[in-house]
């Protein structure tokens, strides 16, 4: 099977299992640059859920377990900055079309 990737889509947000990370948080949010074939860890150090969406060209939204459902957080895609809470008691991130 051959997969084509449009030139427009050159970065992918993905969940990566990190060897040596805490057993409580082995899955981290990474960004894969398809042009350079390089990966960048985001500033989020907590164990993330299965979904992340692009809020804009430089920011990701992802879910973390919260008191009542999931809390949504944002984090810069370039590995700088820090994760910030966007919304509490949400279900999952979604991208309005």
5 within a domain of the structure (yes/no): no
3 within a domain of the structure (yes/no): no
Average pLDDT of the chain is: 83
Mean pLDDT by 10 residues, the chain (97 residues): 48 88 87 90 86 86 85 93 90 70
Q: Residue 15 sits in which domain range?
A: 11-90
95 within a domain of the structure (yes/no): no
32 within a domain of the structure (yes/no): yes
DSSP state letters, 60-86: EEEEEEETTEEEEEEEETTS-S--EEE
67 within a domain of the structure (yes/no): yes
pLDDT of residue 42: 93
96 within a domain of the structure (yes/no): no
Q: What domain count does the chain have?
A: 1
86 within a domain of the structure (yes/no): yes
User: Could you tell me the CA-to-CA distances from 24 to 11, 92, 95 in Å, in that order?
Assistant: 27, 21, 28
This prediction has a pTM of 0.81
């Amino acid at each position: 099977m051959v997969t084509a990737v449009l030139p427009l889509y050159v970065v992918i947000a993905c969940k990566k299992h990190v060897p040596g990370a805490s057993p409580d948080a082995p899955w981290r949010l990474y960004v894969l640059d398809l042009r350079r074939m390089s990966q960048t860890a985001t500033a989020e150090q907590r164990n993330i859920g299965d979904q992340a969406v692009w809020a804009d060209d430089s920011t990701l939204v992802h879910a973390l377990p919260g008191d009542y459902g999931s809390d949504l957080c944002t984090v810069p895609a370039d590995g700088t900055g820090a994760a910030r809470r966007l919304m509490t008691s949400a279900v999952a991130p979604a991208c309005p079309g």
